[in-house]
Structure 1
Amino acid sequence: MPSDRLLTTQEAADRLGITPRLLLEHVKSGQIRYVLTGRGTKRPRRRFAEADLAEFIANRTRRDVPPVPKGGSCPSTSRRDDGATSTISSSVVVGFTARRAQRLAERQRP
């Protein structure tokens, strides 16, 4: 249950388990809201509400979910797509040894 007390930069960083420097980087990027309690502009006095820290944590919470394979089934039980297709090409495959033998035979004829 969040309290109404505002936390200092060090206390907020400790609560999040990060350094004060990283906390201020999150502040500058707009990811963490803060309350400005001082009147100065050179060294702003920032305080952090527990609710804002909880919101930051909720926004950054992630869960790694493995990607769903093609077809939506388990990869170990799904059929493998070899990508093999029939060809409509009219080319002929000739091995390099057959071609070499043909050249040698042509040289020996004369």
Structure 2
Amino acid sequence: MPRPGGPRHRRRPRHRSAGPVRALPRPQVYDSFQAAGLTDTFRHLHPDEAAHSWFGRSGNGLRFDHLFVSTPHAERVLACDYHQEAREAELTDHAVMTLRLGLPSTPGEQGEAPAAGAG
């Protein structure tokens, strides 16, 4: 139990690393997703919006959380958003993400969005 006003005690994780982690620089990571045929759904709909899914103690935000679809399905993305309520209520330290896709109304449709009023 932490002492009042003292540092919090943190348990060490039970897992062991297989070796040093060598992360790619962030632009290369995103380029590799695109090269693999994946599209960042939030950025697809909100190309210029500054959004954050996590905030540090200093108040600086980062967009750690992403949802991807295969690039041919990117046009089916209807909505993708971050919701801060659970994070602000301190239920989690990350924002919730939601994704809404327009799916074919009948099996076998290929590449066509459902017609308005279909379904």
* TM score, norm. by length of structure 2: 0.21
More helix by share: 1
Larger radius of gyration: 1
The TM-score with structure 1 as length reference comes to 0.23
User: Which protein has the bigger strand share?
Assistant: 2
